[in-house]
Amino acid sequence: MKDLNFIDTGKFLKADKNYEEADIIIVGIPMDYSVSFKPGTRFGPSSIRQASYGLETYSVYLKRRLEDKKMCDMGDLVLPYGNVQKSLELIEKTADKIIKDGKKGIFLGGEHLITYGILKSYLKKYRENLVILHFDAHTDLREEFFGEIYSHATVLRKVWELNPKVRMYHFGIRSGEEDEFEFAKNHTKMFLYEVVEPLKSILEDIKEDYIYITFDIDVLDPAFAPGTGTPEPGGITSKEALETFHLLKDFKIVGMDIVEVSPSHDVSGITSMLAAKLLREAILSFF
């Protein structure tokens, strides 16, 4: 990718093809400028990669193997630390290249704000034909947070502003300000607390659509995913998270991200391992 620099921090399991021959492109985005509680998500991508080597390449759930996928792990995108706008531009440019070349993008965060740069690119191509599935403990629909309009707490609001006609679904939400829930009532579709059953309820509606998944690891209860910057008790289990991806098997997923893994706050690496397994199941389910 011209004009883009990457650092090799390891490869996700079996992501050993070069860019040209791969169908699936994995990019780490080590950005955590606006993390509001516990910083450290910039180390998430490398920790997920490292954890992946503790997994089998075969999924007993899906009866599929990673060896059958053509994947390239580009490493971590080099960002100008502290420069939010320039970083978002580089993220968008990376996604532009992946989309232009007809490949599927998987982006490993990093904080949730990275999704704005990614979806700015995807919405240029798909516009209101794109469905966004947002899995999170938090609404992320604030207009500003501590005076900043670009934040991991405003990211989905900023995405909506890019194209108010886009269909956006939120799952597992259990934290936010009152005005965010009012906004969702009027402009998006929000499901509180639960993920699996609400997702089942919309599958028929989205089965023919192009879909982008943004998955914040804190949608899980901290008992299963303590390694995150803003843990929120009352979340889903790891089994439910796996079922979520399995429900989307063979749907038209055009890209996804997994964000907010913060290994310095993890316990025995269980959050990174969970993220790695979720990514394996995502790849084998719909990429």
Whether 117 is covered by a domain: the verdict is yes
* Euclidean distance between CA atoms 111 and 132, whole angstroms: 18
Residue 172: the pLDDT is 98
Contact assessment for residue 248 and residue 212, using Cβ atoms and an 8 Å cutoff: no
Contact assessment for residue 106 and residue 25, using Cβ atoms and an 8 Å cutoff: yes
pLDDT in tens, the chain (287 residues): 777 999 999 999 999 999 999 999 999 999 998 776 677 899 999 999 999 999 999 999 999 999 999 999 999 999 998 899 999 999 999 999 999 999 999 999 999 999 999 999 999 999 999 999 999 999 999 998 777 888 888 999 999 999 999 999 999 999 999 999 999 999 999 999 999 999 999 999 999 999 999 999 999 999 999 999 999 999 999 999 999 999 999 999 999 999 999 999 998 999 999 999 999 999 999 99
Q: Which amino acid, one-letter code, is at 70?
A: K
Q: Is the dihedral of CA 196, 284, 79, 117 positive or negative?
A: negative
* Euclidean distance between CA atoms 197 and 194, whole angstroms: 7
Contact assessment for residue 212 and residue 122, using Cβ atoms and an 8 Å cutoff: yes
- Residue by residue, DSSP assigns 255-285 as EEEEE-B-GGG-STTHHHHHHHHHHHHHHHH
pLDDT in tens, 226-269: 999 999 999 999 999 999 999 999 999 999 999 999 999 998 99
- Residue by residue, DSSP assigns the chain as -TT--EE-----TT-BS-TTT-SEEEEEE---SS--SS--GGGHHHHHHHHHTTS-SEETTTTEEGGGS-EEEEEEEP--TT-HHHHHHHHHHHHHHHHHTT-EEEEEESSTTHHHHHHHHHHHHHGGGEEEEEE-SB----S-BTTBSSSTTTHHHHHHHH-TTSEEEEEEE-B--HHHHHHHHHHSEEEES-SHHHHHHHHHHHTTSEEEEEEEGGGB-TTT---BSS--SS-B-HHHHHHHHHHTTTS-EEEEEEE-B-GGG-STTHHHHHHHHHHHHHHHHH-
Whether 185 is covered by a domain: the verdict is yes
Write out the residue range of the structural domain in which residue 202 sits.
6-286
Q: Which amino acid, one-letter code, is at 92?
A: E
Whether 1 is covered by a domain: the verdict is no
CATH of residue 275: 3.40.800.10
Question: How many structural domains are present in the chain?
Answer: 1
Contact assessment for residue 189 and residue 168, using Cβ atoms and an 8 Å cutoff: yes
Whether 80 is covered by a domain: the verdict is yes
Inter-CA distances, 136 with 50, 101, 193, 229, 236, Å: 24, 30, 10, 13, 10
Beta bridge partners, 16, equal: 72
